[in-house]
Structure 1
């Protein structure tokens, strides 16, 4: 039996949410993630206004596509947790479950993280915290330590295959995580050897990811250690792949299911 698979917005960030939902259905995916918060001030995001939210809900219902998560919240010293309320409200209205976050290290991080977790919980949402090599929280262990030290019950470690690998994570790190702390995973591939330097790592993450099976990451090992209940999406932004959206979405879908089918054997 095929495992349900989601399409992360970052793979096709140029598409408005309704178009992404339609593409997901045509390509075989069962749910999406949506970019409702900018990764930096002024960056592209697709948070809808009230009429847009109603229309998006109508499209999602008609296509039979659910929402798993919204992205991407960078928790830094400049972030006011209350500014996330519109995105969280929209996610909740669409039946979303999670908010993707990453974090720098600064005085007050624990309090900010706890407040974001509180705002999310009030709306039926949990937090998925991922490590990034160029940020302060840059290892799987650092993610778990922040979650455990703040006591945010709805928080978990987001297993992004690229970030997990580039931050020194291994499949055994996932296997050792506390129960309930691996709710979501995002799959892609990349060369086995990491590029050198923060700028190169950032460029790879934002536009140099590969379809599962095209690179050298230990995806089989990662997938093999994910808890059975972990929700799996694909996140494969690429500036080099010029195939049309449907062709690329189908390629990603089929390659990922080959990987997941191996895990079920």
Structure 2
């Protein structure tokens, strides 16, 4: 039996978007997660803002919960780089992230001007060095930077990294895209974090439907049609994974803790399947029957 490298498993803020970070840490600990991702800046006008700037009461409470539980913060989010000057925003986000002990800040490419977007990413990467935070560019299926190849090319040139989200990995060009798989394997060294969720194989028909699915209608890992174990097996063993699976309906049905427990169980099952797949491939290559 092959020994498998332990990997940290996290709970993304989007899975429990309306749960304040101190409570997210507490719930993550009870559900068996090792880390959380935290949203330090709201993405939409209707989102509940969480003040995690240095000196804020919520930061103090979050740090206390982290110390009590051992749960850490690995990543912060989220900034859509749309071509406007957002340097003040990302500097504040990096201040909060540094206070939380985060190492990455997730961004998306919403700027149609690729040269300007590249310059923005490079400036962010330079600013992040003094905070110990690296921008991670996420390819999002309904934004201008939609493919892993696009994201990886920009990240390499700008000096940042990429986040792989299994929803957007599958939704680009309707899923099953050979170029996505090639880009995943070719750029595995750029990936510090894999975000896991599941969903139907069929791609939603409109951009609005893609956005709705992304923000509030994802499935538990292992309970949909995505090839999740294959994605995990294509990336380095021991790579941290995070459950990013928002579902307003099921949070309402199961409660915050119930949903977190369900997600952890799903992630564990996918990881076990990926380990078995990796071991099978290794044995085949070595000629072991």
Please classify the TM superposition score into its range, dividing by the shorter chain length: over 0.9
Tell me if 1:232 matches 2:241. yes
Structure 1 position 141, deviation (Å)? 0.9
Q: Which residue of 2 aligns with 1:13?
A: 17
Q: Is 2:142 the counterpart of 1:134?
A: yes
Aligned twin of 1:102: 108
Among candidates 140, 148, 167, match of residue 162 of structure 1: 167
- Determine if contact 1:172/1:225 at 8 Å carries over to the other structure: no
Q: Is 1:174 matched up with 2:184?
A: yes
In the alignment, the residues of structure 2 paired with residue 99 and residue 217 of structure 1 have an alpha-carbon distance, to the nearest angstrom, of 26
Is 1:250 aligned to 2:261, yes or no?
yes
TM-score (norm: length of structure 2): 0.85
Equivalent residue runs for 1:1-265 within 5 Å: 3-40=7-44, 43-49=47-53, 50-52=55-57, 53-107=59-113, 108-150=116-158, 152=159, 155-168=160-173, 170-177=180-187, 180-241=189-250, 242-265=253-276
Match of residue 282 from structure 2: none
Distance 1:9 1:64 in 2: 17
Query: Contact conserved, 1:35 with 1:47, CA < 8 A, in 2?
Result: no
Residues 3 and 260 in structure 1, CA contact (< 8 A), matched pair in contact too: no
Q: Secondary structure of 1:180's partner?
A: helix
Q: Secondary structure at the match of 1:83?
A: helix
**Larger gyration radius, structure 1 or structure 2:** 2
| Displacement over 6 Å in runs of 4+ | none
Q: Which has the higher helix share?
A: 2
8 Å CA contact retained: 1:85, 1:119: yes
- Structure 1 residue 42, shift from structure 2 partner: 6.3
Q: Aligned partners of 1:127 and 1:74: how far apart in 2?
A: 12
Q: Work out whether residues 230 and 274 of structure 2, in 8 Å CA contact, stay in contact via their aligned partners in 1.
A: no
> CA 1:149 to 1:71, structure 2 compared with 1: closer, same or farther past 3 Å?
same
SS in 2 for 1:244: helix
**Stretch deviating more after TM superposition (124-133 or 196-205):** 124-133
**Paired positions, count:** 261
| Root mean square deviation of aligned Cα | 1.7
- Larger displacement relative to structure 2 (183-192 or 244-253): 244-253
- Counterpart CA distance in 2 for 1:44 and 1:120 is 25
**Distance apart, 1:4 and its partner CA:** 2.0
Q: Distance in 2 between matches of 1:47 and 1:171?
A: 38
Contact 1:92 1:123 in 2 (8 A): yes
